[in-house]
Every structure is written in C-alpha cells, then in structure tokens.
Structure 1
Amino acid sequence: MFSLLIADDEALEREGLELMIRHLMPDTFHFLHAENGRKAIQITEEERPDFIFMDIKMPGIQGLEAVRHIAALVPSTKIVMITAHDYFSYAKEGLALGVRDYLLKPARPEEILHVLQLLVAEKEEEKRVRNEQLELQEKLSQLIPLAENELSLMLMLESVQEVELEQLASLLDIQWYKGYAMVLSFFRKSKKEWDEFQLLKRDIYEAVKHFTKPNLSPIVGPIVGHQMALFIPLPPGRHGYSQRIISLEWGERIRGIIEERFQLSLSIGIGSVQEGWDGISRSYREAVRVCAEDSVLLNVRHYDDMLLSSGQTKISLDDEKKLLDALLRHNKQESAERLSSLYSILEEKSFGSLATLRAEVIGLLMFLCRAVQSGEGANLIRTLSVVEDREVLRKTALYWLDSFIDGLMEEREQSRSHVFRRALLYIEQKYKKDISMEHIAEYVNLSPHYFSKLFKQHAGETFIDHVTGLRIKEAKKLIMEQSLSLKEICYEVGYKDPNYFSRVFKKATGITPSEYRQQIEKKSPC
C-alpha cells in the first residue's frame, strides 16, 4: 500500500478527492491530509509519503514554496500540482523543482486515474530496481571475501594469471602494485596448543581482519595450516628503513593482540617491499622463510634484518623459477643439480649459521611445495626443523625434491589410469555398436592422437585390436549358444557386413564362423 498526502486549504476538496481515489483505486493508498503548506512540510518530514497532491494556492506557505522544501527533504516523493488556473509560469517553476505532473480543477476521474497509475507504475519500477540493486550488493558482499581469499592464494601459490588477477583486483578495488607480505605463524609446541588453535582459527582470522583492515588496508588471506598471510600496500611517502621500522611495529601490535586475546604463541615474518604481483609473491616467500628461522631473540622478524645481519644475498627469482620449471618437467637430474647449486650459495652466505641456512632451505622448499600444490608443507617444516647437520640437511632437501617429482608423476599416472578405465568401461558398453576411436577420445576429452598412444600404453594393444577382441569373444559365445544365425550374430556384435565379419573372425581365430560352428556341433552330444 502506498501513502498519498493531499494538501489543500479546502477540506471539502481534500475529502472529495480522497473519496474519488478510493473509488478509482480501492485498497491502494493510505491517505494523509494537510490544510496548508507548513503542515504539508511537517507531515512529509514525519511520514515521508510516496505521493503528494499539492494545491498551488494556499494560505501561508504556498504550494510551490512547500514543494521546494519537500523536494530538498524527500527527493523520492512524487508531487502532482493542482490548480484552478492554467498558469504557465507556475508550471515552469514546478517542473524545475521536480513536480511530476499537473491537474486542473475540477479534474475528471479518468485524468486522476491516469496520473495515479503512472505514478504507481513508476514507484513499483523504482522499488524493483532498488531490490535488484540490494540483491546485487548482498551477493557482492558475499563474493568479495571469496575474491580476497582467491587473490591471496594466487599470491601464495604463485599461480598468478594476469587476466584473473586484474579481474579480482578490480572487484576488490585494489589499485596498488607495490607492497609487502606479513605472515603470522602459530606455534605447535604441544598437541594441546595445536588443538586449541584449530578451535580458534575462525575467531583469530576475524580478529586480525578487524584490526588490520582500517589501519593497513591489506589483502587478508585465509589461515592455511598454521599460517596466515597479509599482503599490505606501501603507504605513500614511506620507503626504506623507516618503512621497515613501521612494519615491525605493526607486527608487534598484531602479535600482542593475538597473544593477549587468545593466549596463543606466534611468530611474525615480514617480507621486503616489492613491486608488481610477482614481487609481492616473492615478499610472501621471504616472510615465510623468516617465520621458519629459529630465533630466541625476536618473535617479529623482517627479512631485510635477517639478510643484512647474516650478510646473505638473495637467490634470484629467475633461479628459483628455473628450479621449479625443472621440477614441473619431472626432470630429477636437472632439479637436483639446480637445488644443489642454490644450496651451495645459501651455505656460503649463511656464514656458519645452521639456523639461517635451515630457514632459507625451508623457505625455498616451501615455495616448491606450494607451487606443486602438495599438502606436505607441515611435514616438510617438521622434518627439516630438527636437522642439525649440514650434509643431512642437503640430503633431506634433495629427498623432498624427489618426493615432489614422484608425487607429480604419480598424480599424472593416476589421472591417465582413470581416463583409461573410463574408456574401457565405455567401450565395454558400446562395442556392439558403431563406435570409433575418435568417438571414445571425445568422450574422455582427449585428442585422438594422444588417446591412441595412451590406450596402447595401458592396454598393450591398439584400440581397434581391443574392440575386435571383444566382438570376436562375444561372437564365439553366441555361436556356442546356437540360437542365432551367423548373419544375426554378425549384426549383434557390431558388424554390418557378414563377409567382412567372416574375414575378421578368420584372422582372429584361424577359421571362419561357419567352420567354428561346425566344430561346436561335432563336439555337442546328439
């Protein structure tokens, strides 16, 4: 139901207009009355009516003056001016104020009905559009956290695709390309502490997000395993040493809030400021590395501090990517050689500190672990964190590298095996019909050439030989049953030409179908 305010200094005019409208459009309006302009403004302010029928000439504040106040107060209210005279100057001024229409006294019922129908239709359309906007906003509000999670995971896993990334950044209204990563790493000193952390994960995530969003405007990543990542834009005018100090101060604040509120221990690693999404991913790896480092001095550590204090130089991003490329190509020899080369660089720059070397190796392997989407990150950290010998550390790192490649190869083989089983099952169901290798390849979503190679590798025979074998086996069975003619058997097992069927049968068995039937009949007791 809509609300309609009738403003006129004549009570009979107001009541007559109300009765007419009730008759024209029953159960449509809730009516309000105002005897002058001041009262119309007051009622509008309190009731906010959908529509107003406003007389131009009223004592005190006249119609146009009241319209001026109301238009500023409630712009969504639709106003129709009523006048006994067709004054062009009034019409012109009213239109400038947003008046929707005019009625001349005495207005005919059909004129009033027409105006009201237009106004109601407009209002309903506005309501529909508004509801659609609200629904869209609600869906968007649900989508934005998912988009933020997706973007943060892309940065963590370095699976950055420019188009997808730009779409996500646009959706999140992110316009910065220079920043750094901060990683919160929760301790797992005891099973009890770990179990408590699992129960509090959601509350911790919300607390960190609530505190950091207004202050740092970060991309907040989900808690993955025992770690949570923040990707923070570089504030204007901040750089170098001062920015490092400020980021460490924020790290201490975040750590203090978490430890005070949840009584959980954690360390925080902060990466260096980098440009571009690739650079911010690298900053994340740096933050992970310093989180993994053993340190009794600091719970909040900046990568640049660890780097400068140890005299290390960074491994180039290009070298890391070459190692990853060899791994993804399943080249164990090249992968081992590249890892050994990088290990030597890290060992040389660690200046005798096993803890520093171990932290760098863990960070490098965690980069590979995430890139191949292995779920062994926690085991990797646990295994390497207790190593106290450099040579054992090197061998253990090579072992993990081998395990990544083995995992990728096993996953590929399982995928191929699954495709092969699907193909075999489908062939088993369809071999009696006119099927082709191209048809089966399309069914399992592979190219015919690749499917042909894959099938022969797993089955030890070609697709044609396999289908022929199934058909001949079924033909023998039907011949032995002696209920169908050879011609009927030919069609039953998927051949259209009895002569061709006979040739295929002889090639497979050494005798024709009729000769095979004769042998069966001789063996059968009379």
Structure 2
Amino acid sequence: MFQLLIVDDEASVVDSLADTLPWHEIGISTVFKAYSGSEALELLKTNTIDIMMTDIRMPGLNGLELLALVRREWKRIKCILLSGHAEFSYAQQAIQHDAHEYLLKPISDGEVLDKVGNLVGILQRERDESRHYERVEKAFQEHLPKLQGDLLADLLQGVKISPERLGQKLESLKIAIPAEGRFALMLFRLEDRFAELDFYSLSLMEYAVVNMAEELFEDDFRLWSCKDLHGYLVFLVTIAGEGDTQQDRQEHPDRAAEPVESRLQSMASQLQLSVDRFLKGSVSVLISRWGSFPLDIKRLYEDILLSMRKQVGNQSGLLIYASDELEQLPVHALQRLYEPPMLVHLLESGDWEKTHDKLTGIWSELGAKWADSQEHLLEAFFSIYASFSSFAHKNGRQLTDMIGPHLSDVTGLTPSRSLEALQQWMFQSLELLQQCMENETRNDRENTVRRIKLFVQKHLVEDVSLQAIADYMYMHPVHVSRIFKLETGENLSDFVLRLKMEQAAFLLADPSLKNYEVALQLGYQNPNYFIKVFKKYYSLTPQEFRQKLEAVEEQ
C-alpha cells in the first residue's frame, strides 16, 4: 500500500478528493491533506509520501515551486499537477520538473482514480525491481568502515549483544572472526604534533595510520579498527593463518616458523617508524595478551588502558606489551554502573523498564562482590544521585520536588550505609521519578487537547485546518494530530467533522433555514460539497434528513 498527499489552497477540493473517493481500492492506504505549499513541505518531512497531487496556482509556495523542491529532496515521489488553466508554459515547466501527469480542472472522480492508480502500478513495479536494493547496497558499502568501527567500540565498552545477534552483525558487516577465535588488542595513541591538529586534520592522520597498518599487517594478520572514547585508535588483531589449508601453510612457511607475538611486535614497531617517517609524528603502541572472542574483549581493553596509565603516562613513542596486572589488583572498579547504556541516558530516554533493569544490575554486582565495601556503596550512591539530580534539573525541577525531601536529603549519607538501604532508596526514588514524569506528561497532554477542542469549537465555521490549529498551538501539525489521537482515541479531523455534522443536524431542524444557508453557516462555501459530506456521514442527504425529522414529529 502507498501514501498520497493532496495539496490545494481550496479546502473543499482537498477535502472532497481525500474523504469521498475509494482510495483503498487502488492501493492507497493513507491520504494526507495540505492546504498550502508550506504545509505540504512539513508533511513531506515527517511522512513517507509516495504520490503527490498538487494544484499549480497557490499563494506563497506555488505548485511548480513545490514540485521543484520535491524533485530535489524526494526524487522517488511521483507527482501529478492540477491546473484550471490550459497554458502551454505550465505544461512545459511540468515536463521540466518530471511531473508524471498534468490534469486540467474540473476533473472527474474516475479520472483522478485512474491517474493515481497508474502511478500506484508504476511504484509497485519499481518496488519489485532491484534498483532500490542496489542503491541501499551501495550506501551500505560506503558506510561499512564506520559501521564496523561502531560495533567494535560498543564491544570495547561492554555493550551486551547476544551471541546470535553478534554473529548476524559480524556476517552482515563482513567481519571474519569466529566465536571463541583468538585475538589481541593493539592500542595506538597519536602524540606530539598530532595533539595540536584540528579535528579535520587529525581525522586525516588517523585515516592514514589505519591504512598504513592494514597494508603493513595484511600478510600475517587481519585488523578491525575503531576510535575509542578516549581518542585512541584500537585494533582488534586476528591471525591470518588460522584456518588456512595445508596448501596455504606450505606457501607461507614463515608464518608457522616465527612466534605470533614476535611477528606482531615487529610489525607494530615498523608501523611506529613509518608514522614517524611519513607523517612526522610519534605514537605509543600497547599490545594486549591474546584472548577468546568475544568473551575477553572488555577485560583485555581494560588491561591496555591500565597499562597506558601506569606504564606510558606522559611519555611518547613507547611500545609495550600489556600485562595481566589488572587481574592481580586487590580492588576492582564497578562494572555495571559505568557500562553503556549509562543510567542518566536511560532516564533521559524515558525507558523506565530498562532504567529499573540497570539499577537491578548495579545492585546485584554490589551484593555479589562489594556488599561490605563502604567505598563502593558510596561510589554507587553518588553516581546514582548525580544521575537522578541531572535528570530532574534537565526537566526544570529540583530533585526534592520530584522525590521528596526525605529521599533527596544526603545528610549523614543514610542510603549508602548498607546494601539494603541503598536498594530501598534507589528503587523508591526511581518509582517517584517515574510517577512524577508520567503525571506531568498526562497533564500536559490533557491541557493541550483541551485547548485544541476550545479552538475548534470557537472557530468551527472558520479555518480549523490542521495547520491553523498547529499555528495556534505553536506546535508541529503532525505532533498536534498524534497527541489528540493518543489522548482521545479519535482523529482530529474526525472530531472536527463530528462537531460540524452535529451542528448541521441542529441547524437543519430549523425549517426557516435553507440547505445552502446551513452550509454557509458551517463554513462550506460549496453547498454541493456540504451535501456530499453530510450524506457520507449520516447516509442521508440534508433534505432526506429533514423529511425524516418531520415524519418523527408527525408521529
């Protein structure tokens, strides 16, 4: 099914075409209405439009100007131009802008359905062909390196991905690394003059380093690279010879002869020299121990970061093998508290279920490892309190106003005195935050809908188009429509029509009013159109409706 947009400054034309024709029978699922070129642009930006039918002569942005914009921004949309003037210049410009049809008013319903139906057929054939998928594939290939890097960055940060989903991602992104395959991490820190470069120049240098590394390592290793949150270049290194056939091993006997660690260190040293020679800068390189993919990726990443802090520091041009000293440390940092998605981001997204799961994970880790560690309890409490406070402040509220003075009071640090106290505090606070935001959202929606209804009732016989209501509310038309439907369960256009038809029924009960006078009082400049709409709503013409009222009164 496809979506149609009808554009005309004559509201009666738009409403008649949109509301009375059997669009569903020709493959149109949704008909959008716009009463100006600017309103049409807003709908085009927020909805997937397949066919646009527009009048040429409109105030402001006319039909030809709208068509030119559509051709530039939404090339796939099929366009039909309507005109009440058989001028050759219009037809010529329509051809230039690749309009699919040029129709002269007045147009019969059958002709409109026929022309739109033809375009539906064209769209359906295009959808069945492979041209669209080829364009998608081309775009995918162009963005493949970034998509690969984003996945590696997520894994380094500990983002949870199921084995099945990870396998699908690796396959789609053309990354050849098997589950439980051996790998090492290699971290590059660009130093000295690189630190003084602007963002664009630094990006070029990083691109050059990655290309140099891939060229230098390609015979012996496979590299998968990204830029991490600290600005370091990180390479996941796998062995090119693993999985080779017997013939491959015979053709490359040097691979088996030299230990993998020595080859990797030698090539990393060569890359350092190449960066110094060709890019005129220095890099420090840290190489992790070998691990199993993807189980060890976050642990090995933390190993090389620790080595960077402890063994490299402010020095430059070093090449270091990271040790396993992280496992030997007597105290470890909390994991669930800082792994993505961060608590503050979950709060801002409004996903309360995932926020609850995040807090549950933090509490479970504390209970399993650090229940007796006052420092870890304090660390968790202050971090969670800061996230709650930040969320409250971004919503223009004090935390005290949202969760109450008792829970927001940090005097004596009562919530951090025990694991049970922390658990009770954070889940009670979360529940109150959620209740506060849901009440606020509900109140905002109710107030918005109340103002919309008052506007419609006050201006029922004037302009009550979606754009007019949106302008009054200082909101986007699509947002107005969605809020009204969400709060009332009724489409805004149906609400307006219902009020008009109820008012029509009331006026028609007055025998002193002619049918055309009733139409004019309701804002219908075309009495025939009023009759058409009334009959569709009540299944009776206005005259039949009056006759039925008279028969009831006589009884």
Q: Under TM normalisation by the shorter chain, which class is it?
A: 0.3 to 0.5
User: Over alpha carbons, which structure has the higher Rg?
Assistant: 1
After TM superposition, the score normalised by the length of structure 2 is 0.35
Higher RCO, 1 vs 2 (CA within 8 Å, ≥6 residues apart): 2
After TM superposition, the score normalised by the length of structure 1 is 0.36
